[in-house]
């Protein structure tokens, strides 16, 4: 991406937008249940349907669940952005697919591979390839340049491709943290195997049932991928004050008596209570939960800072070459 492009496409956010009922688009395939959560269960605030897709570079065909111009980045703070490339088929190609060199400051970018393979390079000399189940966790902090492409062999062969990228906002006191790169291989994720062959829960960050996640974070965050079998039926809890939601990457579930089909996202109310999951088929779920930052923020393209002055500084530092160098 050229310097000007991201500046022109930048969006200055930061105003707390009013949360309206219209946010919750009704999904056509939604089955009407008596869908009130039981008194012991955490309430369901709503279900987001899949959105229109747009291309990021020429390699990622994503649905942007948030921020999406609707204030959801506040509702899910510290999570700021969720772009999901649901499964698509990329044909075999000699042309590289992906997104070229671009900067970030003030956030962490977390990429999950579900199908296909993605290669990453950054200006701090980090390089990694993620395959299904693997995660790359890049702390941009004070600033890095990176590029994200389909891995070369996958690009040449083509095939099913499914990826997700989250932006995790950094607390004010850690905005300018030293950049860092955590490469998390699926087999090395700490996990809890559920009884009765219901599946397993991988703990990328946070803690589940006494098992600690593998990634280090700058604020309290739970981030788990659940791999469930068809008959899975169990309860768990998340802190009531954490902003929490679940994306159905593959499969279909019922959460506290509410139907949540594939590629839908369920937002939970901020309250204590059981979260009851029933898998209707084999599933991959992503559970996101974090303590809200409750700090002002300004977003401009790939930068998320606390003030407009800090955004101006980020652009100035980027143009002055202070983010380092990375060849495209
Ligand atoms: Mn990026």
| Domains of the chain as residue ranges with CATH | 28-319 (2.60.120.10)
Cα distances (Å, whole numbers) of residue 303 to 10, 75, 143, 211, 290:
9, 19, 9, 33, 20
Non-local (6+) Cβ contacts of 6 within 8 A are 102, 103, 301, 302
Distance 59 CA to ligand 1 centre (A): 12
Non-local (6+) Cβ contacts of 294 within 8 A are 77
Round to whole Å and give the CA distance between 213 and 204. Answer: 5
Distance 301 CA to ligand 1 centre (A): 10
Name the average pLDDT for the chain.
91
Burial of 232 (0-12, 13-18, 19+ CB in 10 A): buried
The per-residue pLDDT for range 139-178, each reduced to its tens digit, is: 999 999 999 999 999 999 999 999 999 999 999 999 999 9
Confidence category of residue 34, pLDDT binned at 50, 70, 90: low
Distance 29 CA to ligand 1 centre (A): 33
* 147-264-158 Cα angle (round to 5): 40
Whether the CB-CB separation of 285 and 248 falls below 8 Å is answered with yes
Whether the CB-CB separation of 117 and 160 falls below 8 Å is answered with no
pLDDT for position 23: 53
Nearest to 25 by CA among 249, 199, 261, 189: 261
pLDDT for position 303: 98
Nearest to 249 by CA among 231, 233, 267, 262: 262
Distance 148 CA to ligand 1 centre (A): 7
Distance 3 CA to ligand 1 centre (A): 14
Does residue 15 register a pLDDT over 90?
no
> What single string gives the DSSP state of each residue in 132-186?
TT-EEEEE-TT-EEEEEEE-HHHHHH-EEEEEEEEEEEPPGGGTTPPPEEEEE-G
pLDDT for position 32: 46
The pair of structure tokens assigned to 134 is: 């693997």
**Which of these ranges, 27-41, 133-147, 167-181, has the smallest mean pLDDT?**
27-41
Round to whole Å and give the CA distance between 210 and 194. Answer: 14
Distance 256 CA to ligand 1 centre (A): 35
What percent of the chain has pLDDT above 70? 89
Distance 40 CA to ligand 1 centre (A): 40
pLDDT for position 79: 97
pLDDT for position 9: 37
Distance 272 CA to ligand 1 centre (A): 34
Distance 322 CA to ligand 1 centre (A): 17
Mean pLDDT along residues 13-32: 42
Distance 255 CA to ligand 1 centre (A): 32
Nearest to 152 by CA among 89, 87, 95: 95
Distance 144 CA to ligand 1 centre (A): 10
Distance 266 CA to ligand 1 centre (A): 25
The per-residue pLDDT for range 260-291, each reduced to its tens digit, is: 999 999 999 999 999 999 999 999 999 999 99
Whether the CB-CB separation of 40 and 273 falls below 8 Å is answered with yes
Does residue 328 register a pLDDT over 90?
no
Residue 191, strand partner residues? 202
Distance 305 CA to ligand 1 centre (A): 16
Whether the CB-CB separation of 167 and 109 falls below 8 Å is answered with yes
pLDDT for position 70: 76
Distance 147 CA to ligand 1 centre (A): 7
**Which of these ranges, 2-6, 28-32, 214-218, 269-273, has the smallest mean pLDDT?**
2-6
Round to whole Å and give the CA distance between 238 and 39. Answer: 16
Round to whole Å and give the CA distance between 47 and 41. Answer: 16
Residue 196, phi then psi, degrees to nearest 5: 55, 35
User: Tokens 């990622």 belong to which residue?
Assistant: 60
User: Tokens 């591979």 belong to which residue?
Assistant: 113
Does residue 229 register a pLDDT over 50?
yes
Whether the CB-CB separation of 160 and 115 falls below 8 Å is answered with yes
The per-residue pLDDT for range 233-253, each reduced to its tens digit, is: 999 999 999 999 999 999 999
* Type and span of the H or E element at 289: strand 283-290
Residue 324 C-alpha from the chain's centroid: 26
Confidence category of residue 7, pLDDT binned at 50, 70, 90: very low
Confidence category of residue 14, pLDDT binned at 50, 70, 90: very low
Does residue 33 register a pLDDT over 60?
no
Distance 130 CA to ligand 1 centre (A): 15
Mean pLDDT along residues 110-125: 97
pLDDT for position 1: 39
Distance 228 CA to ligand 1 centre (A): 30
């Amino acid at each position: 991406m050229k310097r000007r492009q991201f500046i022109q496409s930048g969006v200055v956010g930061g105003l707390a937008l009013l949360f309206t009922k219209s946010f919750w688009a009704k999904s056509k395939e939604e089955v009407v249940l008596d869908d009130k959560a039981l008194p012991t269960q955490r309430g369901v605030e709503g279900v987001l349907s899949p959105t229109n897709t747009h291309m990021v570079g020429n390699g990622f065909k994503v649905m942007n669940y948030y921020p999406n111009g609707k204030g959801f980045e506040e509702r899910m703070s510290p999570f700021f952005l969720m772009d999901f490339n649901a499964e698509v088929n990329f044909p075999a190609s000699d042309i590289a697919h992906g997104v070229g060199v671009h900067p970030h400051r003030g956030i962490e970018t977390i990429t999950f591979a579900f199908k296909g393979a993605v290669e990453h390079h950054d200006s701090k000399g980090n390089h990694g390839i993620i395959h299904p189940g693997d995660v790359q966790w890049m702390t941009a902090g004070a600033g890095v340049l990176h590029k994200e492409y389909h891995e070369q062999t996958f690009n040449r062969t083509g095939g099913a491709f499914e990826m997700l990228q989250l932006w995790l906002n950094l607390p004010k006191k850690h905005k300018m943290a030293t950049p860092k790169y955590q490469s998390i291989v699926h087999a090395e994720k700490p996990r809890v195997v559920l009884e009765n062959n219901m599946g397993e829960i991988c703990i990328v960050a946070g803690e589940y049932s006494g098992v600690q996640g593998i990634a280090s974070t700058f604020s309290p965050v739970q981030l788990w991928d659940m791999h469930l079998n068809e008959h899975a039926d169990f309860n768990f809890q998340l802190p009531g004050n954490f902003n929490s939601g679940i994306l159905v990457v593959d499969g279909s579930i019922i959460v506290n008596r509410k139907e949540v089909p594939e590629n839908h996202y369920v937002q939970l109310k901020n309250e204590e209570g059981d979260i009851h999951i029933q898998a209707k088929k084999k599933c991959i779920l992503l559970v996101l939960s974090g303590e809200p930052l409750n700090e002002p923020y300004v977003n401009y393209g790939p930068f998320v800072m606390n003030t407009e002055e800090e955004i101006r500084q980020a652009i100035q530092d980027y143009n002055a070459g202070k983010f380092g160098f990375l060849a495209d």
